[in-house]
């Protein structure tokens, strides 16, 4: 893979570039596996970062993403719009249209989006919109605007991806449970894994999934959630052990409603940048059987993103 650069922009201070030269995973991904959460950044010289962004990343192009896909052994990607591009979906859509049908996408839209724009994104492979509630990433959008968007995109069969932190779930509960579509939670709603698995915070998240069969979860981002490590670097085969019980619980209780993704190029990590090959080796720790792995990596993402196949 070619090394990270940053077009015409200056990266946020302390920015960690994606890991160049990931190892070959020891875990053999099932045939047809989907990396269901990853991003493209720019390149900034071609697809400028949004003026309202809260961070400026290093570039991470579609060619670099697809090289990683092939290296790790994934067959397809779901490219999720990152907040550094705001509601300008051109870099993400460009990645989809140059994927030979091997990528689908999740967009960010405003109330002003037209039906023709939604249709054009649908034709390019977009299948969802993302509502982000992580305060360090986005400014507040009124809930009535988001509900209006959710109602409109439902006509295309799209779903809503939500990103929030565990402490905010009680306040967001009524809004989330009013959404009319399939709802996909990013990174298990960011649990604090230093708290007990059976404590009130994570139990509320499990109740959210248990009581609402339209709610799915990505069991991704151990590198973001882990407090005690060890980090997925230098051949570590037992990385992020503190995240395992949380992700395994979700996979085992809701095997038909879970997705997994690398989260490459891992925006805003402060502490270390994982080796993506070792991140793939994390998967069998949270999905220990071949049946669970098949659902997590193939059947579930195919049902949501390529239902026609």
Ligand X SMILES: O=C(O)/C=C(\CC(=O)C(=O)O)C(=O)O
Give whichever of 135 and 143 is closer to ligand X, judged by the CB atom. 135
Report the C-alpha gap between 276 and 297 in whole angstroms: 16
Nearer of residues 132 and 293 to ligand X, judged by Cβ? 132
Q: Verify binding: residue 258, ligand X, rule CB under 6 A.
A: no
275-306 burial code (b ≥16 CB/10 A, e <16): bbbbbbbbbebbbeeeebbbbbbbbbbbebbb
Q: Give the x/- contact pattern for ligand X in 107-136, rule: CB under 6 A.
A: -------------------------x----
- Nearest approach in angstroms of CB 167 to ligand X is 15
Q: Is 274 in the site for ligand X (CB under 6 A)?
A: no
Three-state secondary-structure class, residue 167 = helix
CA distances from 185 to 90, 105, 219, 233, 271 (A): 24, 15, 9, 27, 24
Nearer to ligand X, 90 or 180 (CB): 90
With CB under 6 A as the contact rule, the residue among 267, 274, 277, 301 that binds ligand X is 267
Q: Tell me which of 35, 59, 88, 186 binds ligand X, using CB under 6 A.
A: 186
Selection from 128, 64, 124 nearest residue 93 by Cα: 124
Query: 79 with 40: CB under 8 angstroms?
Result: yes
Q: How far is the CB of 48 from ligand X (least distance, A)?
A: 16
Specify whether 263 is catalytic.
yes
Is 268 a binder of ligand X (CB under 6 A)? yes
Determine if 278 is a binding residue for ligand X (CB under 6 A). Answer: no
Q: For the chain, give me the number of helices (H) and strands (E)? A: 12, 8
- Comparing CB distances to ligand X, the nearer of 35 and 263 is 263
Q: Which of 263, 275, 276, 281 is catalytic?
A: 263
Check: CB of residue 30 under 8 Å from CB of residue 297: yes
Is residue 6 at the binding interface for ligand X, with CB under 6 A as the rule?
no
Residues near ligand X (CB under 6 A), total: 11
191 binds ligand X (CB under 6 A): no
Residues 82-101 binding ligand X (CB under 6 A) are 82-84
Q: How far is CA 118 from CA 101, 115, 154, in A?
A: 18, 5, 11
Query: Beta strands 76-80 and 34-38: pairing type?
Result: parallel
Interface contacts to ligand X, rule CB under 6 A? 39, 82-84, 132, 137, 163, 186, 263, 267-268
Active-site residue numbers?
263
């Amino acid at each position: 893979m070619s090394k990270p650069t940053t077009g015409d922009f200056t990266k946020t201070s302390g920015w960690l570039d994606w890991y160049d030269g990931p190892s070959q995973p020891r875990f053999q991904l099932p045939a047809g596996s989907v990396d269901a959460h990853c991003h493209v950044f720019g390149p900034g010289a071609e697809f400028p970062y949004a003026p309202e962004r809260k961070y400026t990343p290093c570039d991470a192009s579609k060619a670099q993403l697809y090289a990683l896909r092939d290296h790790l052994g994934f067959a397809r990607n779901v490219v999720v719009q990152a907040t550094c591009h705001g509601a300008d979906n051109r870099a993400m859509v460009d990645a989809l249209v140059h994927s030979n049908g091997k990528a689908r996408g999740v967009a960010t839209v405003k109330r002003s989006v037209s039906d023709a724009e939604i249709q054009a994104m649908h034709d390019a492979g977009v299948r969802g919109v993302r509502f982000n509630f992580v305060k360090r990433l986005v400014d507040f959008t009124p809930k009535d605007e988001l509900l209006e968007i959710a109602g409109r995109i439902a006509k295309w069969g799209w779903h809503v991806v939500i990103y929030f932190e565990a402490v905010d779930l009680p306040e967001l509960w009524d809004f989330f449970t009013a959404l009319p579509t399939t709802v996909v939670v990013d990174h298990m709603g960011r649990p604090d894994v230093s708290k007990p698995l059976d404590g009130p915070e994570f139990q509320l998240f499990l109740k959210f999934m248990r009581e609402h069969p339209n709610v799915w979860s990505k069991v991704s981002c151990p590198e973001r959630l882990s407090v005690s490590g060890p980090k997925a670097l230098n051949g570590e085969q037992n990385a992020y052990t503190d995240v395992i019980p949380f992700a395994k619980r979700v996979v085992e209780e809701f095997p038909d409603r879970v997705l997994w993704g690398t989260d490459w190029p891992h925006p805003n990590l402060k502490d270390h940048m994982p080796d993506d090959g070792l991140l793939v080796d994390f998967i069998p720790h949270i999905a220990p059987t071949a049946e669970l792995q098949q659902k997590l990596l193939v059947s579930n993402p195919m049902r949501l993103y390529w239902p026609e196949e």
